[in-house]
Amino acid sequence: RVVAVIMVGGPTKGTRFRPLSFNVPKPLFPLAGQPMIHHPISACCRIPNLAQIYLIGFYEEREFALYVSSISNELRIPVRYLREDKPHGSAGGLYNFRDYIMEDSPSHIFLLNCDVCCSFPLPDMLEAHKSYGGMGTILVIKVSAESANQFGELVADPVTKELLHYTEKPETFVSDLINCGVYIFTPNIFSAIHGAFTQRKDRANLQRVTSFEALQSATKALPTDYVRLDQDILSPLAGKKELYTYETLDFWEQIKTPGISLKCSALYLSQFCHTSPQLLAGSATKSATIIGDVYIHPSAKVHASAKIGPNVSISANARIGAGARLISCIILDDVEIKENAVVIHAIVGWKSSIGKWSRVQGEGDYNAKLGITILGEAVVVEDEVVVINSIVLPNKTLNDSVQEEIIL
């Protein structure tokens, strides 16, 4: 049997996702109309003999309760949220819940970061891992040399695929092959994490007795019950025939900012063409003109003369008026877009309203801070107002046009 664990982090993480993470924990923010973690969860359901999916995080239990119960029913796989009292690091969090994870005596454990967007080739990884042997296999991808330093950079044997060297976010270039944050491990991973804990405690004790100066640096160091998967486990295990790599040639993105989430929404919408075409709006399902990949929640009301797409997702109870034009945007619950308004490269927050003939637009540079326009919850853009490349915090009313501004 196999179990899957998704690390969801907590409220102190995901700060670059503001103002959207004020309303909803980042892992539940919708991409292609489905919560971010829905995508890895449905990928896990394609693993043969999957017994259970655990979400580990330090958000309040109630923030995940509704989602966890509805997704368990929908997919008929038990999904459970396990709450840490405080952050223990990506490996520490996993270790704390080892008794739950080992309940089904799994032969393999999948471990996924919640904030990555990819095709999650999990069954292929499992097959590859079985052929390599060892304690674990890491999903890896080649990225541009300039962007590699935001990730774990690694070197693998081109023939055996063994992980030979691993450095987390290095200052000087090591390799353009990076860690995708998707892993498969045998239960031996728990002994490796236990080893890292013991080592850290021993070192802290040693420093305490050796000198006052060392004591000072030890108190500044990480807590002894905090273990990071990358620095504390992967780096020391490289080159020991325990870890292997599986390279994906498909799409992969790390979702740290709202701009990237718009790009990921497009990637998932286009994946739906193969995996869940019933979720995409075709001209048959809505009378409006639909262009390219579009998701429209069944409760949303879209006027027949509106023109929608490509890369648009419209959430529950949104109302899109006559003659409105929507391109590359995420429209959240209860938004109203009035007649002839235009929304391009933008995220429109819950309960916001956009007036007649208004324009809410970004230039579409997903990597730039103001490359898309973001409206927080309950923002009112009055009639004939133009909002370009701006971020507007919740509950603001705009009666004048703005450009390249952050409205606090």
Q: How far is the CB of 82 from ligand GDD (least distance, A)?
A: 8
- 114, 9 in Cβ contact below 8 A? yes
Residue with Cβ nearer ligand GDD (183 or 295):
183
Q: Which of 7, 189, 280, 290 binds ligand GDD (CB under 6 A)?
A: 7
Identified binder of ligand GDD from the candidate list 3, 114, 288, 370, rule CB under 6 A: 114
HEC string of 361-386 equals: ECCCCCCCCCCCEEECCCCEECCCCE
Burial class (CB in 10 A: 0-12, 13-18, 19+), 213: exposed
Q: What is the dihedral of CA 12, 69, 186, 237, to 10 degrees?
A: -10
Q: Tell me, residue by residue from 149 to 188, as one string, x for binding to ligand GDD by CB under 6 A and - for no binding.
A: --xx---------------x---------xxxx-------
Whose structure tokens read 């390279």? 247
Residue 61 one-letter amino acid: E
114 vs 320 by CB, closer to ligand GDD: 114
Question: In angstroms, what is the minimal distance from the CB of 87 to ligand GDD?
Answer: 3
Contact stretch for ligand GDD (CB under 6 A) within 111-119, 269-277, 282-290, 301-309: 111-119
Shortest Cβ distance from residue 236 to ligand GDD (Å)?
A: 15
| Residues 243-272 contacting ligand GDD, CB under 6 A | 254
Q: How many residues bind ligand GDD (CB under 6 A)?
A: 26
Left (φ > 0), alpha (ψ -120 to 50) or beta: where does 82 sit?
beta
Residues in 41-100 at the binding interface with ligand GDD, rule: CB under 6 A: 56-58, 84, 87-90, 93
Nearest approach in angstroms of CB 198 to ligand GDD is 19
Q: Which of 267, 292, 294 is nearest to 366 (CA)?
A: 267
Neighbour count for residue 135 (Cβ, 10 Å): 20
Burial of 402 from C-beta contacts in 10 A (0-12 / 13-18 / 19+): middle
Nearest 5°: CA angle at 185, between 181 and 186?
A: 170
Cis peptide before 19 (omega within 30 of 0): yes
Among 79, 81, 115, 331, binds ligand GDD (CB under 6 A): 115
Of residues 90 and 340, the one with the C-beta less far from ligand GDD:
90
Q: Which one of residues 4, 116, 148, 237 is an interface residue with ligand GDD (CB under 6 A)?
A: 116
- In the complex with ligand GDD, the residue whose CB is nearer, 25 or 321, is 25
CA-to-CA separations, 389 to 31, 347, 362, in angstroms, rounded? 21, 11, 5
Beta carbon nearer to ligand GDD, 107 or 367: 367
Residue 8 touching ligand GDD (CB under 6 A)? yes
What residues make contact with ligand GDD under the rule CB under 6 A? Answer: 7-9, 13, 56-58, 84, 87-90, 93, 113-116, 151-152, 168, 178-181, 230, 254
